[in-house]
Amino acid sequence: MGTQDGERVGVVSALVQSAFLVNAVYTESAREHGITSQQGVLLCVLMMRPRGMGELGAMLGLAKSSLTGLVDRTERNGLVQRESDPDDQRAVRVALTPRGRKLIDEFYPETCRRVERLADGLGDADRDALAEVLGRVVRDNEVPVVFMEPGEGPFSKH
């Protein structure tokens, strides 16, 4: 199913294989940190701020029951907690616990480094072109931000 050296890869194959490649890196990093890749995604989404269950479901593309199970498992591991939404007492938000914050402070930069290394064989111009093209695909498809660019948010260089 792979490609031979020098063989041209079409857009569908390139996108699908790239997704598998990134997912494999993400899964390996998560496993080494004692979490599932889904829990890693949840923690990354919560890095900047707590989020409501509806918002999380939309961002992660999960049905309510699947999201509830994910949050339950992650809460049992002591990484997230449910809290009241200050704007709507009927609503629940999910937030990182101190243990979850400590884990994401290690997991996120390490995972970024690993994903970055996937493009080590590219020169600066090709890396920039790849980022521009994939960025356009992401924007055109209105993909929610579930993973920040290294250097943004709590890991920005001030």
Instruction: Give per-residue pLDDT as tens, 50-86.
Output: 999 999 999 898 999 999 999 999 999 999 999 988 8
Assigned domain for 6 exists: no
What is the reported pLDDT for 88?
82
Per-residue pLDDT tens for 32-47?
999 999 999 999 999 9
From 77, 46, 76, 80, select the one nearest 60 (Cα to Cα). 46
What is the reported pLDDT for 152?
58
26 Cβ contact list (under 8 Å, min separation 6): 37, 40, 41, 111, 115
Q: What is the dihedral of CA 99, 76, 28, 15, to 10 degrees?
A: -110
Assigned domain for 82 exists: yes
Assigned domain for 105 exists: yes
Assigned domain for 3 exists: no
Assigned domain for 143 exists: yes
Task: Give residue 18's domain range.
Answer: 11-149
Assigned domain for 157 exists: no
Greatest CA separation found in the chain? Answer: 59
Assigned domain for 98 exists: yes
Domain count along the chain? 1
What is the reported pLDDT for 1?
46
Structure token pair of residue 153: 């948010």
Assigned domain for 4 exists: no
